[in-house]
Amino acid sequence: MVSWIRKLAEPEFDTYELVLPDWAQWLAQDADGVWWAYECEPNQAYSGWYENEVGRFFRLHQAKANPNWQETLRRVHLQG
């Protein structure tokens, strides 16, 4: 169930509103531009992130490709 809107307005990102599941603890973008929410800290792969075999993950948004995708991993602090 989605419960929170996170606005990204950091200079290296486009600005979007992302609706995150209430369990989301991590947010990251793959090289192809897809934003993902993760319950547990994801592992870095060749061109994106993947769940570490524990926790849930959810595809959030397709944005433009990002050559700096490795810098997008963020800890999410949801406020209830």
Reference 40, options 80, 1, 76, 78; nearest CA is 76
With contact defined as beta carbons under 8 Å apart, do 75 and 38 qualify?
no
Determine what percent of the chain is predicted with pLDDT higher than 70: 76
The more confident residue out of 9 and 51 is 51
Q: Residue 5 has what pLDDT?
A: 45
With contact defined as beta carbons under 8 Å apart, do 36 and 27 qualify?
yes
State the DSSP H helix or E strand holding residue 18, giving kind and residue range, or none if neither: strand 16-21
Q: Where are the domains of the chain?
A: 33-80
What is the rounded average pLDDT for all residues in the chain? 81
Q: Is the pTM of this model over 0.75?
A: yes
